[in-house]
Protein backbone atom coordinates (compact mmCIF):
# COMPACT_ATOMS: atom_id res chain seq x y z
CA UNK A 1 0.00 0.00 0.00
CA UNK A 2 1.64 3.23 -1.16
CA UNK A 3 0.82 6.31 0.93
CA UNK A 4 0.61 9.68 -0.82
CA UNK A 5 0.30 12.94 1.12
CA UNK A 6 -0.26 16.49 -0.12
CA UNK A 7 -0.97 19.53 2.04
CA UNK A 8 -3.37 21.49 -0.15
CA UNK A 9 -6.40 20.38 -2.18
CA UNK A 10 -4.67 21.24 -5.45
CA UNK A 11 -1.82 18.90 -4.51
CA UNK A 12 -4.04 15.79 -4.23
CA UNK A 13 -7.34 16.38 -6.04
CA UNK A 14 -5.97 15.02 -9.35
CA UNK A 15 -5.01 11.81 -7.54
CA UNK A 16 -8.38 11.42 -5.85
CA UNK A 17 -10.14 12.05 -9.19
CA UNK A 18 -7.98 9.38 -10.88
CA UNK A 19 -8.46 6.80 -8.11
CA UNK A 20 -10.46 3.66 -8.91
CA UNK A 21 -12.48 1.52 -6.47
CA UNK A 22 -12.12 4.32 -3.96
CA UNK A 23 -13.32 4.30 -0.38
CA UNK A 24 -13.08 7.28 1.97
CA UNK A 25 -12.63 7.22 5.71
CA UNK A 26 -12.07 10.22 7.99
CA UNK A 27 -9.68 10.00 10.94
CA UNK A 28 -8.89 13.03 13.12
CA UNK A 29 -10.63 15.25 10.54
CA UNK A 30 -8.43 14.07 7.65
CA UNK A 31 -10.03 12.00 4.88
CA UNK A 32 -8.03 8.98 3.71
CA UNK A 33 -8.89 7.74 0.20
CA UNK A 34 -8.04 4.10 -0.45
CA UNK A 35 -8.17 2.55 -3.91
CA UNK A 36 -5.98 2.00 -6.96
CA UNK A 37 -3.98 4.54 -8.93
CA UNK A 38 -2.44 3.40 -12.22
CA UNK A 39 -3.38 -0.13 -11.00
CA UNK A 40 -1.43 0.21 -7.73
CA UNK A 41 -2.98 0.04 -4.23
CA UNK A 42 -2.70 3.49 -2.67
CA UNK A 43 -3.98 5.60 0.19
CA UNK A 44 -4.13 9.36 -0.48
CA UNK A 45 -4.78 12.21 1.96
CA UNK A 46 -4.78 15.98 2.10
CA UNK A 47 -3.10 16.70 5.42
CA UNK A 48 -3.28 20.51 5.66
CA UNK A 49 -0.20 22.71 5.75
CA UNK A 50 2.58 22.38 8.28
CA UNK A 51 4.72 19.95 10.18
CA UNK A 52 2.24 18.78 12.82
CA UNK A 53 -0.59 18.09 10.36
CA UNK A 54 1.70 16.25 7.98
CA UNK A 55 3.40 14.14 10.67
CA UNK A 56 0.05 13.09 12.14
CA UNK A 57 -1.21 12.18 8.68
CA UNK A 58 1.90 10.13 7.90
CA UNK A 59 1.63 8.28 11.19
CA UNK A 60 -2.05 7.47 10.61
CA UNK A 61 -1.26 6.21 7.12
CA UNK A 62 1.45 3.96 8.49
CA UNK A 63 -0.32 2.61 11.58
CA UNK A 64 -3.89 2.37 10.28
CA UNK A 65 -3.42 1.63 6.58
CA UNK A 66 0.01 -0.02 6.49
CA UNK A 67 1.39 2.57 4.06
CA UNK A 68 4.94 1.90 2.84
CA UNK A 69 6.52 3.76 1.19
CA UNK A 70 5.03 7.18 1.95
CA UNK A 71 5.41 9.78 -0.81
CA UNK A 72 4.91 13.51 -0.26
CA UNK A 73 3.83 15.38 -3.40
CA UNK A 74 3.23 19.08 -3.91
CA UNK A 75 4.82 22.44 -4.54
CA UNK A 76 7.83 24.19 -3.00
CA UNK A 77 9.74 27.43 -3.05
CA UNK A 78 12.92 27.08 -5.11
CA UNK A 79 16.33 28.48 -4.26
CA UNK A 80 16.96 30.46 -7.43
CA UNK A 81 20.66 30.95 -6.69
CA UNK A 82 20.97 27.15 -7.06
CA UNK A 83 19.28 27.35 -10.48
CA UNK A 84 15.97 25.96 -9.26
CA UNK A 85 13.22 27.73 -11.24
CA UNK A 86 9.42 27.93 -11.19
CA UNK A 87 8.04 24.79 -12.87
CA UNK A 88 11.15 22.68 -12.13
CA UNK A 89 10.84 19.34 -10.35
CA UNK A 90 12.82 18.43 -7.24
CA UNK A 91 13.15 14.91 -5.82
CA UNK A 92 14.69 15.11 -2.36
CA UNK A 93 17.78 13.11 -1.45
CA UNK A 94 17.18 14.14 2.18
CA UNK A 95 14.99 16.44 4.25
CA UNK A 96 15.59 18.59 7.31
CA UNK A 97 13.56 20.94 9.51
CA UNK A 98 15.15 24.37 9.17
CA UNK A 99 13.24 25.77 12.17
CA UNK A 100 14.20 23.04 14.64
CA UNK A 101 16.76 24.71 16.90
CA UNK A 102 17.80 23.98 20.48
CA UNK A 103 21.36 25.26 19.97
CA UNK A 104 21.12 27.74 22.89
CA UNK A 105 21.05 24.75 25.28
CA UNK A 106 22.52 21.93 23.15
CA UNK A 107 25.21 23.70 21.12
CA UNK A 108 26.22 21.91 17.89
CA UNK A 109 23.77 19.10 18.63
CA UNK A 110 20.86 21.53 18.76
CA UNK A 111 19.81 20.96 15.15
CA UNK A 112 19.52 17.18 15.62
CA UNK A 113 16.02 15.74 15.99
CA UNK A 114 15.28 14.06 19.32
CA UNK A 115 15.26 10.23 19.35
CA UNK A 116 16.60 10.04 15.77
CA UNK A 117 19.72 12.00 16.78
CA UNK A 118 20.34 13.59 13.39
CA UNK A 119 19.39 16.71 11.46
CA UNK A 120 18.99 15.25 7.98
CA UNK A 121 16.80 12.30 7.12
CA UNK A 122 17.66 10.41 3.94
CA UNK A 123 14.86 9.62 1.55
CA UNK A 124 14.47 6.12 0.11
CA UNK A 125 17.02 5.84 -2.71
CA UNK A 126 15.06 3.34 -4.84
CA UNK A 127 11.73 5.18 -4.77
CA UNK A 128 13.41 8.57 -5.25
CA UNK A 129 15.47 7.39 -8.21
CA UNK A 130 12.36 5.98 -9.92
CA UNK A 131 10.60 9.35 -9.44
CA UNK A 132 13.66 11.18 -10.75
CA UNK A 133 13.97 8.87 -13.79
CA UNK A 134 10.32 9.49 -14.65
CA UNK A 135 10.90 13.25 -14.33
CA UNK A 136 13.91 13.08 -16.65
CA UNK A 137 11.91 11.08 -19.20
CA UNK A 138 8.78 13.26 -19.02
CA UNK A 139 10.32 16.71 -18.58
CA UNK A 140 13.99 16.34 -19.54
CA UNK A 141 15.38 17.11 -16.10
CA UNK A 142 15.07 17.03 -12.36
CA UNK A 143 16.93 18.49 -9.38
CA UNK A 144 18.20 16.11 -6.69
CA UNK A 145 19.21 17.46 -3.29
CA UNK A 146 18.12 18.57 0.14
CA UNK A 147 14.64 19.98 0.85
CA UNK A 148 14.25 22.20 3.92
CA UNK A 149 10.95 22.12 5.85
CA UNK A 150 9.57 24.56 8.39
CA UNK A 151 6.33 26.03 9.70
CA UNK A 152 6.86 29.18 7.65
CA UNK A 153 5.98 30.35 4.16
CA UNK A 154 9.31 31.79 3.04
CA UNK A 155 8.81 35.04 1.14
CA UNK A 156 12.00 37.03 1.46
CA UNK A 157 15.59 36.75 0.21
CA UNK A 158 17.10 37.27 3.64
CA UNK A 159 15.38 34.29 5.32
CA UNK A 160 15.75 32.16 2.19
CA UNK A 161 19.48 32.85 1.94
CA UNK A 162 19.99 32.16 5.64
CA UNK A 163 18.36 28.73 5.22
CA UNK A 164 20.13 28.00 1.93
CA UNK A 165 23.55 29.08 3.25
CA UNK A 166 23.23 27.07 6.47
CA UNK A 167 21.74 23.91 4.96
CA UNK A 168 22.54 23.83 1.21
CA UNK A 169 18.84 23.19 0.46
CA UNK A 170 17.49 23.39 -3.10
CA UNK A 171 13.92 24.13 -2.04
CA UNK A 172 11.78 24.90 0.97
CA UNK A 173 8.31 23.74 1.94
CA UNK A 174 6.28 22.91 5.02
CA UNK A 175 5.75 19.12 5.25
CA UNK A 176 8.51 16.92 3.79
CA UNK A 177 10.76 17.03 6.86
CA UNK A 178 8.00 16.12 9.29
CA UNK A 179 6.64 13.34 7.08
CA UNK A 180 10.23 12.12 6.93
CA UNK A 181 10.46 12.25 10.73
CA UNK A 182 7.26 10.21 11.21
CA UNK A 183 8.47 7.67 8.64
CA UNK A 184 12.00 7.43 10.07
CA UNK A 185 10.61 6.82 13.56
CA UNK A 186 8.50 3.96 12.16
CA UNK A 187 11.27 2.61 9.86
CA UNK A 188 9.10 3.26 6.80
CA UNK A 189 10.74 4.43 3.55
CA UNK A 190 9.66 7.82 2.24
CA UNK A 191 10.20 10.16 -0.70
CA UNK A 192 9.46 13.82 -1.42
CA UNK A 193 8.55 15.03 -4.91
CA UNK A 194 7.95 18.75 -5.35
CA UNK A 195 7.35 21.11 -8.28
CA UNK A 196 8.47 24.70 -7.81
CA UNK A 197 5.70 27.29 -7.47
CA UNK A 198 7.78 30.33 -6.46
CA UNK A 199 11.31 31.40 -5.57
CA UNK A 200 10.61 31.94 -1.84
CA UNK A 201 11.74 35.54 -2.38
CA UNK A 202 10.05 38.94 -2.38
CA UNK A 203 7.87 37.85 -5.35
CA UNK A 204 6.72 34.62 -3.70
CA UNK A 205 3.44 36.05 -2.43
CA UNK A 206 2.45 36.91 -6.03
CA UNK A 207 4.05 33.89 -7.71
CA UNK A 208 2.61 31.23 -5.41
CA UNK A 209 -1.09 31.80 -6.31
CA UNK A 210 -0.14 32.17 -9.98
CA UNK A 211 1.87 28.98 -10.34
CA UNK A 212 0.78 26.63 -7.50
CA UNK A 213 -1.93 24.84 -9.50
CA UNK A 214 0.16 24.22 -12.61
CA UNK A 215 3.15 23.04 -10.55
CA UNK A 216 1.08 20.85 -8.21
CA UNK A 217 -0.54 19.17 -11.21
CA UNK A 218 2.88 18.52 -12.73
CA UNK A 219 3.93 16.66 -9.59
CA UNK A 220 0.66 14.64 -9.60
CA UNK A 221 1.02 13.74 -13.30
CA UNK A 222 4.54 12.51 -12.70
CA UNK A 223 3.49 10.44 -9.72
CA UNK A 224 0.74 8.73 -11.75
CA UNK A 225 3.34 7.77 -14.36
CA UNK A 226 5.80 6.53 -11.74
CA UNK A 227 3.45 4.45 -9.56
CA UNK A 228 3.49 1.24 -11.65
CA UNK A 229 7.30 1.18 -11.45
CA UNK A 230 7.42 1.52 -7.67
N1 LIG B 1 5.55 25.96 -0.61
C2 LIG B 1 5.56 26.58 -1.80
N3 LIG B 1 6.26 27.71 -1.74
C4 LIG B 1 6.69 27.84 -0.47
C5 LIG B 1 7.46 28.80 0.21
N6 LIG B 1 7.91 29.89 -0.42
N7 LIG B 1 7.70 28.62 1.53
C8 LIG B 1 7.23 27.52 2.17
N9 LIG B 1 6.51 26.58 1.56
C10 LIG B 1 6.24 26.72 0.26
Average per-residue pLDDT for the chain: 97
- Does 82 have pLDDT greater than 90? no
Across the range 40-51, mean pLDDT stands at 98
Cα atoms in the 13 Å half-sphere on the side-chain side of 100: 23
Q: Place 204 in a pLDDT band, splitting at 50, 70 and 90.
A: very high
Looking at residue 182, its pLDDT comes to 99
Q: Which of 11, 88, 119, 124 is catalytic?
A: 11
Q: Which residues of 134-147 are buried (b: 16+ CB within 10 A; e: fewer)?
A: bbeeeeeebbbbbb
137 is catalytic: no
Across the range 68-75, mean pLDDT stands at 98
Q: What is the percent of the chain with per-residue pLDDT over 70, rounded to a whole number?
A: 100
The pTM assigned to this predicted structure is 0.98
Whose Cα sits closest to atom 1 in ligand 1?
A: 76
- The whole domain housing 112 covers 2-229
What is the CA(218)–ligand 1 centre distance, in A?
Answer: 16
What is the CA(78)–ligand 1 centre distance, in A?
Answer: 8
Any ligand 1 atom below 6 A from CB of 75: yes
What is the C-alpha to C-alpha distance for residues 70 and 205, in angstroms, rounded to an integer? 29
CATH number, domain with residue 188: 3.40.50.1580
Any ligand 1 atom below 6 A from CB of 160: no
Across the range 110-130, mean pLDDT stands at 98
Any ligand 1 atom below 6 A from CB of 173: yes
Q: What is the domain count for the chain?
A: 1
Across the range 143-157, mean pLDDT stands at 98
Any ligand 1 atom below 6 A from CB of 200: yes
11 is catalytic: yes
Looking at residue 195, its pLDDT comes to 98
Q: Is the dihedral of CA 22, 26, 12, 182 positive or negative?
A: negative
Q: Which of 88, 198, 201, 207 is catalytic?
A: 198
Looking at residue 9, its pLDDT comes to 98
- Does 186 have pLDDT greater than 90? yes
Amino acid sequence: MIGIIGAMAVEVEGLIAAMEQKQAETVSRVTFWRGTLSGVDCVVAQCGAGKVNSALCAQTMILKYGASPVINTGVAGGVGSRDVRIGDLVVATAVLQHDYDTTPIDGDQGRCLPILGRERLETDARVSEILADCAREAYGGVHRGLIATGDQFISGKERLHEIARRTGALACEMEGGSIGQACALADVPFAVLRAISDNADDNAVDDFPRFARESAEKSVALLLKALPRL
